[in-house]
Amino acid sequence: MAELIVAKTGKAGRLTLNRPDQLNALTHGMALGIEAALLEWKDDPEVALVVIDAAPGRAFGAGGDIKAMWAHGSKGDFAFSRGFWTDEYRMNSVISNYPKPVVTVVDGIVMGGGVGVASHASHRVASEKTLLAMPETGIGLLPDVGGTWILANAPGRFGEYLGLTGTRIGVADAILTGFTDSYVPSADLAALIATLEETGDVSAVAKAAKDPKTAVEPAVAPFLESIRAEIESIFDCTTPMAILEDLKASDSAWAQDAAKAIARACPLSVACTLIGVRDTRDMDSLEEALAHELRFTWRSQEIGELNEGVRAQLIDKDRDPKWKWPRLEDVWPDRAMAMFAPLGDNELKL
Other beta carbons less than 10 A from residue 67's beta carbon: 13
- Give the separation between CA 136 and CA 102, rounded to whole angstroms: 26
Q: From the candidates 136, 160, 287, 293, give the one annotated as an active-site residue.
A: 136
Name the amino acid, one letter, at 184: V
Is 109 in contact with 19 (CB distance < 8 Å)?
A: no
Other beta carbons less than 10 A from residue 2's beta carbon: 11
Q: Is the peptide bond before 267 cis (omega within 30 degrees of 0)?
A: no
Q: Is 303 helix (H, G, I), strand (E, B) or coil?
A: coil
Q: From the candidates 3, 53, 88, 144, give the one annotated as an active-site residue.
A: 144
- Give the separation between CA 16 and CA 106, rounded to whole angstroms: 11
Q: From the candidates 61, 63, 64, 163, give the one annotated as an active-site residue.
A: 64
Query: Is 320 labeled as catalytic in the residue annotation?
Result: no
Q: From the candidates 33, 113, 166, 178, give the one annotated as an active-site residue.
A: 113
Query: Is 64 labeled as catalytic in the residue annotation?
Result: yes
Distances (CA, A) of 269 to 72, 327, 335: 21, 11, 11
- Give the separation between CA 80 and CA 312, rounded to whole angstroms: 21
Candidates 148, 152, 188, 140; CA nearest to 301 is 140
Is 86 in contact with 94 (CB distance < 8 Å)?
A: no
Instruction: Return the active site residues.
Output: 64, 113, 136, 144
